[in-house]
Structure 1
Amino acid sequence: MSRRDRAGRRGRRPRLIKDTNDRWMITYADLITLLLIFFVVMYAMSRVDVEKYKVVTQSLQLTFGSGDSILEDGNSILDTEKGHESPLAEEDGSHDAGQAISNGENGVTDDDPQSESGGDPEQKPLTERELAFRKQEEELQNLMNRIETYIKDNQLEDQIKVADLPKGISITLSDRFLFDTGKADLKAGSAKTLSKLASLFSQLDTVISIEGHTDNQPIVRASEYKDNWELSGARALSVLRYFLDKEKLDPQGFQYAGYADTRPAADNTTAEGRQKNRRVEITVLRQLQQ
């Protein structure tokens, strides 16, 4: 053996034989990863946003000028009345006949009130609660109109105020109209107006709130009430008792509270403002009975 051969053999490095038995795990891991991604994509596609779907559907229908869309289980993307209409149909009037047949099959005829009013056929009918709220709103507006007419006919503008507030129809009664100074007993002259209100309240299916309010002047020692809290609560209770005991209204439809001088309607630094703060507020609330 020559020196060159010996040197060549000494310079060669032995090859390392690697174990290839676990190479299949790489392919298996890739397959599992791809399956996971596939199912994630499928799950994401299955959760359709209904509102966005409607917007896309309407946009495509407007774009192609059609109400007959594949997205809505229609026959085609283009309008059947425009995209598939033959020139002969326009000349012999067969288009009009086909239109009438199509309308008849869809349940829309010339006598259909919905087609005359131009209503949306996809508009959902109102729920019972929505209908009840509409009915109540009509009743409240009718109540306000009748009270305003009563106030005008009896010239009680300086004693009774009525207003349409977000929480309901508010009827403000001055304390001079209802009570003597520092007292919570109803005056005899207030019975006629309270009876009129009771007759109107009996026709409503809602809650009526009665609130007593005073000015910020302290109670005199001779009064039977400890402070304005007791006086305001007693005045509200007197009005409530009239409705329940005299007019026999349902107690389930009432609530009452006294707020003393914590919710003034005017400035307590003037006599005129204090007079406005001494009041009883009857509010017909915008809420349905359960």
Structure 2
Amino acid sequence: MARRKRKEKHEEHVDESWLIPYADLLTLLLALFIVLFAMSSIDANKFQMMARAFNSTFVGGTGVLEYPSPTPDGEMEQLDMTKTEQKQESEQEIEKLKEAEKKIREYIDKKGLNDKLKTSLTDEGLLITINNDILFESGSIFVRNRDEDLAKEISQLLVMEPPRSIIVSGHTDNIPIKNAQFESNWELSVMRAVEFMKLLLTNPSLSPELFSAKGYGEFRPISDNGTKLGRQKNRRVEILILPLVQKQQPV
């Protein structure tokens, strides 16, 4: 009788063996969602690290992440090499622009033009700033005859090997202009940039297809238009020498 009671008690025990595969399933689903999240960030390096980590964890059977990576190892190595090469090329280009800047500064010192010409290395490239007062008469777009030689000498400084793209931009102060030729400072700045660029391109060593001109009028001041000195600084022509290797935008 006692033996029968024990048997009935055993039959009433709930079978919980199903919990093991259920827990495994939940774990796999969690891993899947983590992987999907990692893929959505489009970071191949992180994806590979997670894949290896999960495959080493879920041993005993086919790994949950045992399928081709979106970026195979060989391609990832090639990508890393490409990035390294691009960085090296960018650093080399910066050094070349520094050499060009040094040559231009030597010319400025030799000619005693430190108060008229400035150079600076910016995120965009090598920038040469020329005060309008040494190039143009007030309200005129044509370089003065006595300053044409200066423009031509500057053109020699722009000859580089290999050639770089160059942007010439015109700028004015905020004093309004309106005459029979121009209705705004914007138009005046555009035409000054074009005329100065045309003078630079009389140098046969420069390639016209690498040049472009822009006009910003009074809308990009570098000094306070409330003072005479500030307005004088804002009246300028800028020459931007672009690097051969452009900066990569973050993904």
Bucket of the pairwise TM-score, normalised by the shorter protein: 0.5 to 0.7
CA contact (8 A) 2:173 2:232 kept: yes
The aligned counterpart of 2:41 is: none
1:256 maps to which of 213, 222, 225: 213
| Identity between Structure 1 and Structure 2 (%) | 29
1:81-104 C-alpha deviation (Å, 9 max, x unpaired): xxxxxxxxxxxxxxxxxxxxxxxx
The aligned counterpart of 1:113 is: none
The aligned counterpart of 1:69 is: none
Q: TM-score, normalised by structure 2?
A: 0.64
Label 1:132 to 1:191 Cα distance change in 2 as closer, same or farther (>3 A): farther
Does the alignment pair 1:218 with 2:180? no
SS of match in other structure, 1:161? strand
Does the alignment pair 1:174 with 2:131? yes
Pairs within 5 Å for 1:112-151: 127-151=84-108
1:33 maps to which of 22, 30, 52: 22
Q: In structure 1, give the amino acid aligned to 2:21.
A: I
1:15-52 C-alpha deviation (Å, 9 max, x unpaired): xxxxx9xx99x66743531442565688789x6638xx
1:230-252 C-alpha deviation (Å, 9 max, x unpaired): 10000011122223344452234
Residue 217 of structure 1 deviates from its aligned partner by 1.4
Q: TM-score, normalised by structure 1?
A: 0.56
The aligned counterpart of 1:269 is: 226
Give the structure, 1 or 2, with the largest relative contact order (CA under 8 Å, sep 6 or more). Answer: 2
| Larger deviation, residues 125-134 vs 231-240 | 125-134
SS of match in other structure, 1:233? helix
SS of match in other structure, 1:184? coil
CA contact (8 A) 2:193 2:237 kept: yes
Q: In structure 1, give the amino acid aligned to 2:25.
A: L
Count of matched residue positions in the alignment of Structure 1 and Structure 2: 196
Label 1:125 to 1:218 Cα distance change in 2 as closer, same or farther (>3 A): closer
RMSD over aligned CA atoms reads 3.5
Residue 141 of structure 1 deviates from its aligned partner by 0.5
SS of match in other structure, 1:255? strand
SS of match in other structure, 2:242? strand
Distance 1:252 1:131 in 2: 27
Does the alignment pair 1:240 with 2:229? no
The aligned counterpart of 1:49 is: 49
Distance 1:249 1:187 in 2: 22
Distance 1:245 1:140 in 2: 23
The aligned counterpart of 1:95 is: none
SS of match in other structure, 1:206? coil
Distance 1:254 1:288 in 2: 17
Does the alignment pair 1:185 with 2:174? no
Distance 2:188 2:203 in 1: 22
Does the alignment pair 1:285 with 2:235? no
Gaps of 5+ in 2: 1-10, 36-46, 54-79
Residue 205 of structure 1 deviates from its aligned partner by 4.2
Does the alignment pair 1:165 with 2:105? no
Label 1:125 to 1:277 Cα distance change in 2 as closer, same or farther (>3 A): closer
